[in-house]
Chain A
Amino acid sequence: MVLKLSMRAQSPGGHQVKAVLSIGFILMSFCAGQIARAEVQEFMLENGLKLLIKEDHRAPIVVSQVWYKVGSSYEHDGITGVSHALEHMMFKGTEKHPAGDFSRIISANGGQENAFTGADYTAYFQTLEKSRLPISFELEADRMRNLSLPADEFTKEIEVVKEERRWRTDDDPQSYTYEIMLATAFQTSPYRYPVIGWESDLEKMSIEDLRNWYSRWYAPGNATVVVVGDVVAEEVHDLAKKYFASLPAGETLTVDNQPEVEQLGIKRIKVKRPAELPYLLMSYKVPAFKTAVDYPDKVPEWEPYALEVLTGILDGGNSARFSKNLVRGREIASAIGISYDLSSRLDDLFVISGVPAQGHTIEQLEQAVRDEFEDLKMNAVSEQELERVKAQVVANDIYQKDSIFYQGMIIGVLEAVGLSWRNADEYVDRIKAVTAEQVQAVVKKYLIDDRLTVAELDPQPLDKSVKRPARGELNHVR
């Protein structure tokens, strides 16, 4: 999930993409399913706008998020990146509030704001002192239907997007490898597109592309407004009616994605790029919770939860198997983690990413990961390990309430992928119900070569004038 997002702006000094290799990579998506058990109140305006409100009175603030059901997985060849480019242009003004106004007004009200695009959604948010929610609603309602999309602003902003692509992907060998891995693992699924778009598509993108995209997807019927904070739900409902109710509904939309064709054997790629360290990605095609809802005869509902528990068994902290056996233990990995996003809209990937330890090769690391899976296929996980994962899930269910933004994010993601915030309420109990046999069953069913893509970053010299040894050739410092 982390890698699939592209944000409008980066905080100074922040290094979002780089954090990927550390432990945080994976906990983020592991926790992403952990859902507030909550008193969410749901309202629907006549124009189809859905409003979800969760009162949280700990601090006198409010977060307001507008989620649109559109993202890179709604795109097609030739226009990749258009959802994200449009997200940037959403700050470039309406007739009422010209370019720059939005951010200036939010800023003058002490707000924090940003926007992000993922494969399945585009979201805009502001966090404000609680009395200032009307400001957010006024501005968001205005840009939901009235965006100007001026050509001259686009000419500059698409250059910003290209710079973002260079910074985020082209100049980061691990991100670059990840992008190619996605495009290899998926043959027909739209998850093969990078959120930020292919460079060639950015080169030829026009303001007309954005205008078409905007008029098609940006409408009340395709949006969900999520509000969490020190508010009274009925008052927020009234406020939403005041600002959003007059917007025309827009057409009823469906997205007709090509399903992924069946994979018939292992795929392997090598990516040559100037770098110091080799990097391994092993990606298995797996279902998401939405798939289980849509195709219950193919995917039993417990399977995504069992995959979630499996993620915890292997990578849920320092006592999990990857840290215990591969970083410590055999000392084959310098860093290793899993990303699995239960809340994807379409079938997705269970991705193992890792960097070998000194003196070890990519091949050895891959074999060590396979050894872990073989062990899981042969031997059921212990009760103690299952209990540990469940204890973490129960605790995280409390901890995540420390952030109102995160609570809103969970509700928004579920709605955007066509699930319901109600699914959140079941999360802890569903995880608790997973058995050792079910964990073993998903390993046997999904972690097999016919579902696997292996991508390897093959480091090329950073300085062409100096021959550098590959990391695996270096001696241990012992």
Chain B
Amino acid sequence: MFAKGAGILLLLLFAATAYATPDIKHWQTKKGAGVYFVEAHELPMVDIQMIFDAGSSRDDSKPGLALLTNVLLAEGAAGLTADEISQNFENLGAIYGQDADNDSASVRLRSMSDPGKLDPALKNFKHVLISPDFPQDAFERERNRTLIAISQKQQSPGDLAKDAFYAAVFNTHPYAVPSEGTEESLPQISTNNVAAFHKKYYVAGNAVIAIVGDLDRARAEQLANDLTEEMTQGEQASPIPEVSALTAAKTITIDHPSTQTHILVGQPGIKRGDPDYFPLYVGNHVLGGSGMVSQLFEEIREKRGFSYSAYSYFTPMRQPGPFVAGLQTRTDQAKEALQLLQKQLHTFVENGPTQAELDAAKKNITGGFPLRIDSNSDIVGYLGLIGFYGLPLDYLDTFNEKVESVTVEQIKDAFKRRLSPDKLVVVMVGPKTE
């Protein structure tokens, strides 16, 4: 499959694919939070991520609530103002961060491992986690800033397409609504709602703690206990609703004064830990997941110059997250590009990859394995994923062998069972044609 004269390249392809994986330690804090820890002494720093089952799928009748709660944690806590909280972190060179998506809400700390820096940073981190005050003025300001962020999406054809796609794919499921909420929902949220959300979900029994860095197990245990000691024990949040399969194809067009039309095509995909994960992941790598060598990239960009990006991916979530394929192209050729994209999808679901394509994908995925875990920030991300979604502790150790064991037949079978090309959502955002 390679060009002439590539002898040395071929030789190296058969290098061993067994790589050292991080040694993950797992235990529970006294209050019942699951801890996932990797000791790494090369750099004098520590990364901590605390993840709660408190994402926007728990917004219920108040879309935007989970994200707003998450954003407001550091805007006033334990009697300290937002200025004081941020100074307390930044004077130490510590970095605080937070994030919320459909499934989870997380809070992060990166600090030097020197106890003179780490201990006070942790104390401040605890205030934010356990004792946020949700002051009224900060609440109103952050709600207004969220409304501005929602307005900003209206001027982005890509964002409009994404929101419309989720709405159509997930219908009445909470995944249908953006985490930021809407112009209608945000005014209905109060500080009481935020405080109640925090009280219910930011509890030890609903948390996972991921720690990577320059500390030993004993210190990590002490740190995790200390973080959760004053936290309510609480309990694991109840399961979120099931995602329903689509019953018919649906096309949504949105008129927007852009020069390109953004196209997204897809349907509900898979859960984290789904038994079909590996065949679908490896298969999609061939279809549109592998950057510059995928079928979609080749057919849409390399052969025809239609689009800067052309891709597909599964986003596994607590409930089946979306499968999506997309591109953006000059509006006068959008229909042609859409037809091509759909044809590629149909063909792939029908035929799967060739053996050569599958072999190449496996080489890319397994050969690139060391790149996935080459930094503390990568590793802490994997620990969070494993802990939050309950993936096996040997997820990284067995990753390559699971990829290697995937066959063309398994991919064909999984794609046929899991995707229905006759029931796709199609979203097109761009200037009205005709």
Q: Could you list which residues of chain A lie within 8 angstroms of chain B, going by C-beta atoms?
A: 8-13, 15, 18, 21, 58-61, 91, 96-101, 103-105, 107-113, 127-132, 134-135, 138, 155-160, 162-164, 166-168, 170-173, 274-277, 316-320, 323-324, 327-328, 331, 334-335, 355, 357-358, 384, 387-388, 391-392, 394-396, 398-399, 401-404, 459, 462-464, 471, 476-478
Q: In the complex, A56 Cα to B259 Cα: how many Å?
A: 45
Task: Give the docked Cα–Cα distance between A58 and B379 (Å).
Answer: 13
A464 cross-chain contacts in B, Cβ below 8 A: 257
Question: Could you say which of A99, A109, A463 contacts B367, with CB atoms under 8 Å apart?
Answer: A109
A402 touches B257 (CB 8 A): no
Please provide the chain B residues from 124 to 162 with a CB less than 8 Å away from any CB of chain A in the complex: 138, 140-141, 143-145, 147-148, 151-152, 154-159
Closest chain A CB from B371 CB (angstroms) = 6
Q: How far is the CA of A435 from the CA of B77 in the complex (A)?
A: 33
Q: How far apart are the CA atoms of A163 and B300 in the complex, in Å?
A: 12
Closest to A154 in B: B305
Instruction: Of the listed stretches B220-228, B290-298, B341-349, B408-416, name the one at the interface; the rest are far from the partner chain.
Output: B290-298
B1 within 8 A of A: yes
| Contact across chains for A104 and B309 when beta carbons are under 8 A apart | no
Chain-A contact segment, one of B26-34, B82-90, B236-244? B82-90
Contacting pair A160 B8 (CB below 8 A): no
Instruction: Verify A402–B43 contact, CB threshold 8 A.
Output: yes
Residues A104 and B257 in contact, CB atoms below 8 Å apart: no
13 residue pairs of the A-B complex, CB under 8 angstroms, read: A100-B298, A113-B292, A135-B12, A276-B151, A318-B96, A319-B83, A335-B145, A392-B93, A395-B92, A398-B45, A403-B375, A462-B154, A464-B257
B93 touches A391 (CB 8 A): yes
How many interface residues does chain B have, given as a range? 35 or more
One of B13-21, B194-202, B385-393, B420-428 contacting the partner: B13-21
User: Which residue of B has the minimal Cβ distance to A130?
Assistant: B370
**In the complex, chain A residues whose CB is within 8 Å of the CB of B290:** 107
Partner of A398, one of B44, B82, B259: B44
Which of B1, B258, B306, B313 is within 8 Å of A12, CB to CB?
A: B313
Contacts of B288 in A (CB 8 A): 12
Q: Inter-chain contact count A-B, CB under 8 Å?
A: 270
Residues of B within 8 A of A100 (CB): 293, 298, 302
Contact of B330 among A61, A163, A320, A463 (CB under 8 A): A163
Q: Is B275 an interface residue (CB 8 A)?
A: no
**Does any Cβ of A come within 8 Å of B248's Cβ?**
no
Shortest Cβ gap from A138 to chain B (Å): 7
| In the assembled complex, B417 has its CB within 8 A of some CB on chain A | no
Q: Which residues of B contact A60 (CB under 8 A)?
A: 19-20, 370
Q: Which of B84-130 contact A (CB under 8 A)?
A: 86-87, 89-96, 110-112, 117
B368 within 8 Å of A (CB atoms): yes
Q: Closest CB of chain B to A354's CB: distance in Å?
A: 11
Cα distance, A355 to B146, chains bound together (Å):
13
Q: Are A478 and B260 in contact (CB under 8 A)?
A: no
Q: B257 to A274, Cβ gap below 8 A?
A: yes
B354 to chain A, nearest CB (A): 14
Q: Tell me whether B366 is interfacial, beta carbon within 8 Å.
A: yes
- Given the complex of chains A and B, what is the CA–CA distance between A334 and B82 in angstroms? 16
Q: How far is the CB of B400 from chain A (nearest CB, A)?
A: 10
Closest 10 CB pairs of A and B: A110-B367, A395-B93, A159-B305, A110-B368, A12-B311, A318-B86, A319-B86, A156-B305, A59-B374, A164-B308
Name the B residues within 8 Å of A135 (CB-CB): 8-9, 12
Most buried by A among B111, B141, B152: B152
Which of B112, B158, B368 is in CB contact (< 8 Å) with A395? Answer: B112
Pick from A10, A276, A401: contact of B152, CB under 8 Å: A276
Which residues of the partner chain B approach A327 to less than 8 Å between Cβ atoms? Answer: 141, 145
Most chain A beta carbons < 10 A, residue from B138, B148, B298: B148
CB atoms of B309 and A131 under 8 A apart? no
The answer to whether B13 touches A276, judged by C-beta atoms less than 8 angstroms apart, is: no
- Expressed in whole angstroms, the minimum distance between the Cβ of A456 and any Cβ of chain B is 15
Contact: B360 with A399, CB < 8 Å? no
Closest to A142 in B: B5
B328 at the interface (CB under 8 A from A): yes
Q: Which of B251-309 contact A (CB under 8 A)?
A: 255-260, 288-293, 297-298, 301-309
A277 touches B74 (CB 8 A): no
CB distance from A223 to the nearest CB of B (A): 22
Given known contacts A104-B360, A319-B87, A331 and B307 CB-to-CB distance under 8 angstroms: no
